[in-house]
A and B are shown apart, each in its own frame.
Chain A
């Protein structure tokens, strides 16, 4: 019967991973694109956002959003929402930098050549820069996403019923921390190890296609 609890926890973990990757990707794409603007007015708040999330521990962010943020705005945020929000904002900050890094890694000559044949800014991005940049973004994107799956375990601290949280519940019911937490760790490993291997294969393929 504990197996079902763990499975349910795993379901939450995957839901949080996929959900925060999806939202984070949206945030990262938007912020990363806007960061390419030369305007300081646009850039300053975005840099502030990125650095705030990159330079504080995720655990502190989760706790702050769950316990402190409601005091600030006067609305209670359910743990589920707070967890998803913070995870998305956190990984979005990293994706934004991956995205921006990919775009600015493309030589200036590519912009020159595309503009010289009369492409508009958006066409240059769509037809010339992004197809090349995306290839360079894929490996760091996969790495960040793998890390993100591990990061989700931190939402257990605000009682979101993810894999680790279920483990804690089972442990307190059975007094068997060794078996339970080992099982929890093995489940994470069983998912992440194949993903890591897959990422290496993708990376090698991308290198070869250059």
Chain B
């Protein structure tokens, strides 16, 4: 537990990841304090999602260390942790995906209770109760028995959030979770994330919703070309970016930066 005493929940150090000849992450280091939210922004292909997927080891970095809570994985080329170790590491983090990735053969309730039931071996009744509670939390108690194909995008994403929460994770990772949603459905998902942030959930969000990043995140990191080129408080990074690449990227969110400059 010594590692968490200074209040960092996630610690990524000198992370390198390549897909074949393409070097996607080039020595990334990042710390996320317990109870705070970090937003990762940047152009597509900059490595944001890969970094996120390395934090719960859905992608195996070839070099670097990842620590979540008091569990640390040291990655070295060609050395894969055992399946069991990986699974237990991933169980401490929840992840929500751009395309929801709900299990289509399970109802909303079954999706949410799958983790507790099969991974934690929780008794049936208890898992069901937990899942019902979480569905109520995302305002979908009435859809417990619906299959994903009968839910709207926003509803699916809220079920996915409940599914991630069901493992009682120490950390939540959000990978562009509103990018695939119709604009009118974005709000309901952001509301859920906002309330989680208010409850003090530690989270990392890859997002293109600059307004939301500013509102919810304590820290914004701008990534470009496999590196974090600027990191700091939202009003600094989003409002007065210093790095030319950040400036160029944010210039595309014109209206936003303008509104933003006005408020300061």
Contacts and interface: CB of A to CB of B under 8 A. Distances in A.
B90 A117 contact: yes
Given A110-B101, A113-B103, A123-B118, A118 B88 contact: yes
Interface residues of A, number: 19
A116 B87 contact: no
Contacts of B160: 113
A117 B105 contact: no
A128 B91 CA distance: 16
A210 B163 CA distance: 22
Interface in A87-124: 107, 109-110, 112-121, 123
A132 interface: yes
Contacts of A116: 56, 58, 90, 93-95, 97, 164
A116 B93 CA distance: 7
B134 to A, nearest CB: 13
Given A115-B58, A115-B90, A123 B102 contact: no
Q: Looking at chain A's contact residues, is the secondary structure mostly helix, strand, loop, or mixed?
A: helix
Interface string B132-171: 0000000000000000010000000000100110110000
Contact of A119 (B53, B87, B164, B166): B87
From A110, A115, A117, A127, name the one whose CB has the most chain B CB atoms within 10 angstroms.
A117
Given A123-B119, A131-B105, A132-B105, A117 B97 contact: no
Given A116-B93, A116-B164, A132-B104, A127 B114 contact: yes
A114 B160 CA distance: 11
Contacts of A127: 114, 118
A33 to B, nearest CB: 15
A118 B167 contact: yes
Contacts of A107: 101
A109 B101 contact: yes
Given A118-B119, A119-B119, A128 B103 contact: yes
B188 to A, nearest CB: 20
B104 A119 contact: no
A113 B105 CA distance: 14
A112 B95 CA distance: 9
From B93, B115, B160, name the one whose CB has the most chain A CB atoms within 10 angstroms.
B115
A117 B91 contact: yes
From A113, A115, A128, A210, name the one whose CB has the most chain B CB atoms within 10 angstroms.
A113
B184 interface: no
Contacts of B196: none
A131 B164 CA distance: 21
Interface of B: 53, 56, 58, 83-84, 86-88, 90-95, 97, 99, 101-105, 114-115, 118-119, 149, 160, 163-164, 166-167
User: What are the 8 closest A-B residue pairs judged by CB atoms, nearest first?
Assistant: A118-B91, A113-B101, A117-B115, A109-B101, A116-B95, A118-B119, A120-B87, A118-B90
Interface of A: 107, 109-110, 112-121, 123, 127-128, 131-132, 210
Given A107-B101, A117-B115, A118-B115, 15 more contacts: A109-B101, A110-B103, A113-B95, A113-B103, A113-B160, A116-B56, A116-B93, A116-B95, A116-B164, A117-B90, A117-B94, A117-B167, A118-B90, A120-B83, A210-B149
